[in-house]
Amino acid sequence: MPRKKEFDPDQALGDAMELFWEKGYETTSVQNLVDRMGINRFSMYDTFGSKHELFVRAIDRYREVIVATVLTELEDSEQGIESIRAYFSRLVDHLSSSKGKMSCLVVNSLAERAAHDGEIEECVRRNITKLEKALKKAVERAQNLGEIGRERDSKDLAEYLVTNVIGLNVLAKAEPHRDRLERNVEIIIGVLR
């Protein structure tokens, strides 16, 4: 009969996600992980597999918890362009906060691992697709409200917005200045009109 786990696997996964988000994959050691999760190496490997498998699960967890929470307002809104502006305002709030240099786990993983790790590339792609779908839906609402012209393809505009989300996240790692980020958001929104 398997032993009962003496730790909460969900909490441990959340702790690992936070650590990968703070430090990245390469600079996070297994010792860092077990220290943060408050478990021993055997428990980590037995529950989550390798460091790489834990990283994949952490990115999926990020999508399920952080990305889903952030996108809920965007997806559930009845507004068009104002819902897009509100999404970007929340992004600027995060990026200009004390945790702004952490950026986004998805963007960090894209830059650090996706080019040479197919599994991470797929995790990143799932996250980007979720964001793109939410933004496409918001663009279509804005088109239905007459705020954005219908001559522009909603998928193309959603891809443009995702590109800018990624760009703002990368920029904020070096220069998390609110005024610069806000000026960029005004230009991004202006292009939609």
In a domain, 49, yes or no: no
% of the chain exceeding 70 in pLDDT? 97
In a domain, 12, yes or no: no
* End-to-end CA, the chain: 63
- CA–CA dist 7, 14 (Å, integer): 12
- The CA dihedral of 35, 40, 46, 50, to the nearest 10 degrees, is 40
CATH number of the domain enclosing 107: 1.10.357.10
Q: With a cut of 90, say whether residue 70 has pLDDT above it.
A: no
Domain total of the chain: 1
In a domain, 46, yes or no: no
- CA–CA dist 114, 156 (Å, integer): 23
Domain with 143 in it: 60-192
In a domain, 78, yes or no: yes
- CA–CA dist 86, 133 (Å, integer): 17
pLDDT digits (tens, 9 = 90+) for 125-177: 989 999 999 999 999 999 999 999 999 999 999 999 999 999 999 988 887 78
In a domain, 142, yes or no: yes
